[in-house]
Amino acid sequence: MGTSMPKNGRRDFYSVRRAAWILNLPSSAVSRAIRVGELRAEPRNGRLVIPATELTRLLSGAAVAQDGGRK
């Protein structure tokens, strides 16, 4: 996959699809979080990727709303 992999075996960046799988969210929720600024993403090789530090931040506390913030 197009993500860099350091020698420790962990990725530095994740695709939107892989990040959604890790977070147990639909890809659309992750894309929405990027679009509204709740999740940082960077363009790499023409695709948006999410830094591993962002996933760590989300998994350790704040969460992306699955319903898109609707009530």
Residue 12 DSSP label: S
CA–CA dist 60, 8 (Å, integer): 21
pTM value? 0.70
Domain residue spans of the chain: 13-59
φ, ψ of residue 48 in degrees (nearest 5): -85, 135
Query: What is the per-residue pLDDT for 53?
Result: 94
Taking only the tens place, the pLDDT of each residue in 12-36 is 999 999 999 999 999 999 999 999 9
Query: What is the per-residue pLDDT for 14?
Result: 96
Taking only the tens place, the pLDDT of each residue in 32-62 is 999 999 999 999 999 999 999 999 998 987 5
DSSP H or E stretch at residue 22: helix 16-23
